[in-house]
């Protein structure tokens, strides 16, 4: 699901990029990433890029949209919550009833959430995929290290396999 940044280094404290996150999710989904693609759906992703097949898969499945992918960009925690939500809701068809989501308390920093990501954050919290940081904060604008993403991927795989 995750490989190192070289043959001998994992780089656990490096921030995870959008290309890495989408590739991890695509691998968990069992997407065919070995067949070369000719079109990715993004103006900034060359079909020969190592993550081109994952980007194309995410585009086709509605997980990532727009004309640019920005693969080297580090995603914020709320952006990661959203792509995980988009994957589980659109590809796996996993729904969480709104009344169940309302049972989960809000984070102390929920006033800082981008409104379009608020539901996704509650969704991934309810499913136990992403937790807060510190006492009761989510840190929506914070970034995720590769070590943290490995833990998130493990929890995502558990949910992914159970439905």
Radius of gyration of the chain (CA): 16
| pLDDT digits 0-9 by tens, 52-83 | 999 999 999 999 999 999 999 999 999 999 99
Instruction: Judge whether 16 and 145 are in contact, CB under 8 Å.
Output: yes
Question: Is the pLDDT confidence value at 163 over 60?
Answer: no
| pLDDT digits 0-9 by tens, 19-58 | 999 999 999 999 999 999 999 999 999 999 999 999 999 9
> What pLDDT is stored for residue 106 in this prediction?
81
Question: Is the pLDDT confidence value at 9 over 70?
Answer: yes
User: How confident is the model over 86-114, as a mean pLDDT?
Assistant: 87
Please state, in angstroms and rounded to a whole number, the distance separating the CA atoms of residues 51 and 158.
Answer: 24
Q: How many CA atoms lie within 13 A of 138 on its CB side?
A: 28
> What pLDDT is stored for residue 115 in this prediction?
87
Question: Is the pLDDT confidence value at 119 over 80?
Answer: yes
User: How confident is the model over 89-114, as a mean pLDDT?
Assistant: 86
Instruction: Judge whether 110 and 118 are in contact, CB under 8 Å.
Output: yes
> What pLDDT is stored for residue 117 in this prediction?
92
Q: How far is CA 142 from CA 40, 90, 133, 154, in A?
A: 28, 25, 10, 20
Task: Pull the structure tokens for residue 40.
Answer: 């990715």
Q: What is the pTM of this model?
A: 0.93
> What pLDDT is stored for residue 52 in this prediction?
98
CA-nearest of 98, 97, 151 to 128 is: 151
Mean pLDDT, the chain, whole residue set: 93
The residues facing 100 across adjacent strands are none
């Amino acid at each position: 699901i995750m490989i190192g940044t070289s043959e001998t280094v994992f780089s656990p404290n490096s921030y995870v990029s959008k290309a890495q996150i989408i590739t991890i999710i695509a691998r968990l989904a069992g997407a065919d990433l070995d067949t070369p693609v000719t079109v990715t759906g993004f103006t900034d992703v060359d079909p020969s890029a190592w993550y081109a097949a994952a980007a194309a898969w995410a585009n086709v499945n509605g997980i990532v949209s727009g004309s640019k992918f920005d693969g080297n960009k580090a995603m914020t925690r709320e952006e990661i919550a959203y792509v995980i939500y988009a994957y589980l809701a659109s590809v796996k068809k996993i729904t969480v009833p709104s009344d169940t989501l309302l049972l989960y308390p809000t984070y102390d920093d929920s006033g800082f959430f981008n409104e379009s990501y608020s539901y996704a954050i509650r969704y991934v919290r309810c499913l136990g995929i992403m937790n807060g940081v510190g006492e009761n904060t989510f840190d929506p604008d914070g970034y995720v290290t590769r070590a943290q993403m490995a833990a998130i991927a493990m929890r995502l795989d558990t949910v992914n396999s159970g439905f």
